[in-house]
Chain A
């Protein structure tokens, strides 16, 4: 991904096909900035809107936001570490 990020132009597909909207790194960045904006907005709403909660910690401001962020980052990195123990060649069982 880093190689693409350096160039603002489209990653030209082979065979001289016409580049699509998503082939431009600038457009990919736009989607990511859009995501940041959505996150800020959703977290902001939590400060204003009083949610009804069944469990006590559910009512903490931004609970769903930080829980979602932390567990997602957590299990992806944990699974990456698990590879050291669990990963074998594709033809291991053959």
Chain B
């Protein structure tokens, strides 16, 4: 294809033509964009393209190497699947936003310098918020605003870090850094926000469940995996990432157990899967980085599949609240089957994609002697099995009969889910397909008797645990509720403080104004007595009082305005 052309531009510029096309032509056109992008990607040589100088800095708009290729590939696949899933949508804004968003994520992955990275980084934020706003509800609008502020904020921190970094090193090349200066810490925090580090995570659970049926699928694929890529590129082997990742993997599990909105349950598990990848980056060995890349690749697929199935339920049943669902397997059997494939994949059942990718990270952690982290990750595996593997399908498709009678998902949604499920099983059965794409040589065989046996033991006994809890009535019932999380700080605490400060300031202001108003009134009375129509000084010139009034009013207005 075209030498040196970024595949990102095919999607971003291609998106601009979408509004001018109608029905069938538009669908074929949109589907062709990621296919062309992928062909372009595979035709590129593994070198730096688009290199030029700006004010003494080297800009590399297209760096093609093993790490960027695997992320670029999965982003193209995800784009194609998202388009198939959204073919029935007539909302042009969503199609354009999704394509630009996907293109920006791809552009960022191939950025060889931080200026290019920053531009695409911000473009992902701006394009993706339209997928939340496209829900067109008041709460989606407000969640979108919060999301946008945090995402753009992450970009600004990246910009600040980049400027410091350029001044310190004289280069803006995006390469391995170490956490030894303010500059690199700022860059690290910017990546951490987008990667949903603990306490920086809540935009994810706040915004993603508010997006449209198809928008959440797109959102689940790109933003956070871009951040994983950025960390893997910039901070491999940075030890602090190991405890951060372990907390990320474990902490959201508890929230997912008691969360009622099933798309939010999935975002908690998305966060938890990112924890595995972050641990892999922190360990930093070849096997660990391979594990992170492989797990990012597979989690894009199974998370998309799970979000697709819950999106189909939201579309058909009108809700994804566990407390209101149940028994849908009779009406949405295909969606149920695809949801179970996603559930088995995220739970790392043998023969599904999660089994062959997560194992690399666990093996790397054990091999380096991080046994506490290893135990936490096994715990997190059981947790994600419970949440996404059991809770989501059980309360939607089985459990009690909710009384909801609905149609199966539209054909294009089923097709997208079917394709994604085929990839989840195909790569699970032939792991070499994925292993051949990894940045380093893979010396690992996932299908050993020991690995299959221990994984089945883990999953069977976890199933036993929640079966016994269910049958004994100890299992927490699904309740209509929200659970406080770190977003409470900016949704309740800060607004609360501001409202209180507002009332205090208002009171002080009003009393101050009252005092002045009385003084001014007295002054005016005095002046009026002398200058007014009856006043001594104004009897021959009554307009003087008006001028004075105006001057005083202006003065007071100016004073108040200044206050």
Contacts and interface: CB of A to CB of B under 8 A. Distances in A.
A and B form one complex: yes
9 contacts: A32-B467, A35-B467, A54-B367, A68-B465, A71-B378, A71-B379, A72-B382, A80-B474, A90-B482
A76 B453 contact: no
Interface in B130-173: 139
Contacts of A11: 401
A16 interface: no
Top-3 shortest CB links A-B: A79-B257, A72-B465, A80-B476
Given A36-B464, A68-B461, A86 B476 contact: no
A64 B382 CA distance: 10
A64 B454 contact: yes
B457 A42 contact: yes
Nearest to B254: A79
Please tell me the size bucket of the interface on A.
35 or more
A51 B492 contact: no
B22 interface: no
Contacts, number: 159
Given A55-B374, A73-B465, A76-B466, A1 B473 contact: yes
A53 B470 CA distance: 33
Q: Is the interface of A mostly helix, strand, loop or mixed?
A: helix
Contact of B386 (A43, A55, A57, A72): A72
A32 B468 CA distance: 9
B463 A35 contact: yes
Contacts of A13: 327, 401
A35 B457 CA distance: 11
A69 B462 contact: yes
Interface string A42-86: 110110010111110110001111111111110111111011011
Contacts of B327: 13
B484 interface: yes
A39 B461 contact: yes
B258 interface: yes
A78 B258 CA distance: 10
Classify chain B: how many residues form its interface, as a range. Answer: 35 or more
B456 interface: yes
Interface in B234-263: 253-255, 257-258, 260
B457 A68 contact: yes
A6 interface: no
B398 interface: yes
A75 B254 contact: yes
Contacts of A54: 363, 366-367
Contact of B258 (A2, A38, A43, A80): A80
B426 to A, nearest CB: 26
A94 B462 contact: no
B504 to A, nearest CB: 24
A83 B465 contact: no
Contacts of B515: none
Nearest to B329: A22
A90 B480 contact: yes
Contacts of A70: 465
Contact of A75 (B379, B458, B463, B484): B379
B461 A55 contact: no
Contacts of B484: 85-88
B493 interface: no
Contact of A35 (B382, B464, B475, B491): B464
B498 interface: no
Contact of A55 (B329, B330, B366, B492): B366
A1 B471 contact: yes
A76 B257 contact: yes
Contacts of A73: 465-466, 468-469
